């Protein structure tokens, strides 16, 4: 799912939100509750989760190098 950056035009609060592409943009600021949130231009980011990805399911032996796991010597 994509991550979007928002900034409040009222209080300048910034936040990141993980949303579906089809979700409506956020409007209400969690800090001041004003309906002034605007999407910011930022580097695109997304998160891969679950199984079925090459990193978690299809690497074998010494090729496996999962984040937080033991590294191969």
Per-residue model confidence (pLDDT) at position 16: 92
Q: Please give the residue range of the domain that contains residue 12.
A: 2-60
**What is the structure's pLDDT at 20?**
87
In a domain, 24, yes or no: yes
For 12-57, the pLDDT digits (tens) are 999 999 888 899 999 999 999 999 999 998 776 666 666 666 666 6
Q: Is 5's pLDDT higher than 80?
A: yes
- Report whether 4 contacts 17 (CB < 8 A): yes
- Answer yes or no: is 73 within a domain: no
Give the pLDDT of residue 2.
81
Q: Is the pTM of this model over 0.85?
A: no
Using an 8 Å Cβ cutoff, are 35 and 27 in contact? Answer: yes
Q: CA 34 to CA 46: how far, in whole Å?
A: 27
Q: Look at residue 36 in the predicted model and tell me its pLDDT.
A: 95
How many domains does one find in the chain? 1
Q: What is the CATH number of the domain that holds 50?
A: 2.20.28
């Amino acid at each position: 799912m994509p991550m979007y950056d928002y900034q409040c035009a009222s209080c300048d609060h910034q936040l990141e939100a993980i949303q579906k592409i089809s979700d409506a943009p956020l409007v209400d600021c969690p800090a001041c509750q004003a309906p002034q949130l605007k999407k910011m231009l930022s580097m695109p980011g997304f998160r891969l989760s679950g199984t079925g990805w090459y990193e978690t399911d299809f690497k074998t032996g010494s090729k496996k190098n999962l984040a937080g796991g033991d590294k191969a010597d």
